[in-house]
Structure 1
Amino acid sequence: MGGLAKGLRVIEAFTVETPRLSISEASAIAGLDRATTRRCLLTLAEHGYCAYDGKYFTVTPRVLRLGTGCLATMPLPRIVQPWLDALSEEIGQSTSVAILDEAEIVYVARAAQRKVMSIALMPGSRLPAYCTSMGRVLLAALPAETARNRLLAAPLPQRTPRTITEIDRLMSALERVRTEGYAVVDEEVELGLRSIAVPIVNARGATVAALNTGFPASSETMEKAQERFLDPLLHVRQELFRILN
């Protein structure tokens, strides 16, 4: 089991920001010695989970079997997908549902209308929580001290000139989410991308996931965009509350 745990740490070293790693780079990210990392990577390559060009490793589509198989067994994606499809058609924008995993969000369902981000998002995709609307909704649902500790423990890169990275400003943003019941992010993940998210809650009032729409930035103010998109999001949230409870 120790070997399995180390192999999983090596797999988790590959992210959107680090899709191509040398042995030494993977070793540093995974926190393992070089020899152990090399054995893990070569084993993953032997079984088709990594490609190796003699210097760099990249994960192959085969690794998706690990995540999509797990997601397929979860009831939430199957429940929300029809609602995402209908909402996406109604507002003409992509919609998603995500859950929180430490300091990242994990997409569990998505209905894409157009490509707004430079990367393709799909179930299993991950993004940092601190700069995403769904991430802020999910972090805001945590006790304030827990949310602060997760932010302090994670890298907070300045992804765009508009990205908030200061802990105090992020905590203020989370407090605003708690007060208003939704989160807006304006070009903090990528320039040209805006998003609005609302929490999906269960009968006990606990946030179990977040629902959002992402749309291109334009000359329209964020307030006008909220007028167009927030009510449809809240309607689907209410329908999901009824179904899930």
Structure 2
Amino acid sequence: MPDAAEAEESAYLSPPVQRAARLLRHIAEGDTVTNMAATARALGINRTTLLRLLTTLEAERFIEPIGPNAGWRIGLGLIGMAAQAFFSQDLVQTAVPCIARLADTTDLSAHLGVLDGVDIVYVLRRTPEHGRYVSNIRVGSRLPAHAAVMGRIILAHMPEEAVRRLFAGAPLQPSTPHTPVTMDQLTERLAADRAAGLAWSDGFFEAGISSVAAAIFDSAGIPIAALNVSGQTTSFDGPARRERIGRAVAETAEEISRRLGWAGPARQQNPTRLEVVA
């Protein structure tokens, strides 16, 4: 039986708002609602209520249709709201000019990501003015942290026990044959990333695309975010070019960290170190 405090709190909850929130979360986690009956059962509501929620959320641009009979995905209205919330925080405001400069300096697409559970969430994207390759990843996109370079470099700077707790019971799904699929494989990969100071990837989610990421620290020395640059693998060709890219990413991450109050020693980076994951 709920105690008096729980009963009082539940009296102020709005069931329609809860249902809408649960539906949004369900869609964000991958259910495109192509099977109305299955989604209604999963949410514990009837199909009429589900249809009303979908219609309302689409009208508010919180979701958008993928295509004819292809279901729904999170819409630009909700993504924009989330991006605005992130932008109001010191992290993103501090990072914007630095990441824009990084994109222009390297002639590559640059991104900022934060860890949310076992995912990395993209909260900022900047593209070079005259870049040949422009990343099509959207703010609000989620990638598995154990596989994506920004997730890897954040995890690499966390205590191993914390990483093991985070992924306890969470399957490490492969994105390529080189993705770590066991905790031992993951901790080995993270140790290499930590030693390098950067996480590298070649052809990870898309053939011919490379990327490299560095961690961003707060005043307490905690890794709170990461940034990366990505582009065609040919744009990374040559040791000198890779070294310049790696150094630019490391220096930009350190600049943002210091602006956020991080006072640690200058990190010893080896920007040319390559961890091939695809």
> Normalising to structure 2: TM-score of the pair?
0.73
Q: Which amino acid aligns with 1:14?
A: I
Determine helix, strand or coil for the equivalent of 1:110.
strand
Equivalent residue in structure 2 for 1:97, among 112, 115, 124? 112
- Aligned position for 1:11: 24
Instruction: State how far apart, in whole Å, the 1-side matches of 2:46 and 2:241 are.
Output: 50
Determine helix, strand or coil for the equivalent of 1:218.
helix
- Aligned position for 2:36: 23
- Aligned position for 2:227: 211
How far off is 1:100 after superposition? 0.4
Distance 1:50 1:15, change over 3 A: closer
How far off is 1:197 after superposition? 0.8
How far off is 1:220 after superposition? 5.9
Query: How does 1:65-104 map onto structure 2 within 5 Å?
Result: 65-104=80-119
Unpaired segments ≥5 residues, structure 1: none
Q: Tell me, yes or no, if the aligned pair for 1:41 and 1:57 is still in contact at 8 Å.
A: no
Question: Is 1:131 aligned to 2:141, yes or no?
Answer: no
Q: How many residues end up aligned between the 2 structures?
A: 240
Q: Tell me, yes or no, if the aligned pair for 2:212 and 2:246 is still in contact at 8 Å.
A: yes
Residues 4-31 of structure 1: per-residue CA shift (max 9 Å, x gap): 3443232122248655643345458xx5
How far off is 1:171 after superposition? 1.6
Q: Tell me, yes or no, if the aligned pair for 2:210 and 2:236 is still in contact at 8 Å.
A: no
Query: How does 1:129-208 map onto structure 2 within 5 Å?
Result: 129-208=145-224
Q: Tell me, yes or no, if the aligned pair for 1:195 and 1:212 is still in contact at 8 Å.
A: yes
How far off is 1:98 after superposition? 0.9
How far off is 1:105 after superposition? 1.0
Q: Tell me, yes or no, if the aligned pair for 1:194 and 1:215 is still in contact at 8 Å.
A: yes
Q: Tell me, yes or no, if the aligned pair for 1:91 and 1:229 is still in contact at 8 Å.
A: yes
- Aligned position for 1:32: 43
- Aligned position for 1:42: 52
Deviates further, 47-56 or 174-183: 47-56
Larger Rg computed on CA atoms: 2
Instruction: State how far apart, in whole Å, the 1-side matches of 2:172 and 2:22 are.
Output: 21
Residues 204-226 of structure 1: per-residue CA shift (max 9 Å, x gap): 21112111111222396686654
How far off is 1:169 after superposition? 1.2
Q: Which amino acid aligns with 2:163?
A: A
Instruction: State how far apart, in whole Å, the 2-side matches of 1:21 and 1:224 are.
Output: 49
Distance 1:103 1:5, change over 3 A: farther
Instruction: State how far apart, in whole Å, the 2-side matches of 1:206 and 1:109 are.
Output: 20
Could you tell me the percent identity over the aligned residues?
A: 25
Determine helix, strand or coil for the equivalent of 2:234.
coil
Residues 80-137 of structure 1: per-residue CA shift (max 9 Å, x gap): 11111111111100111111000111122211235465xx323322221111110001
Residues 142-199 of structure 1: per-residue CA shift (max 9 Å, x gap): 2213312433444533323443333321121112222332211222222222211111
Unpaired segments ≥5 residues, structure 2: 1-12, 262-278
> Please, what is the CA RMSD of the aligned residues?
3.1
Instruction: State how far apart, in whole Å, the 2-side matches of 1:101 and 1:54 are.
Output: 30
Q: Tell me, yes or no, if the aligned pair for 2:86 and 2:92 is still in contact at 8 Å.
A: yes
Question: Is 1:110 aligned to 2:128, yes or no?
Answer: no
Instruction: State how far apart, in whole Å, the 2-side matches of 1:207 and 1:222 are.
Output: 30
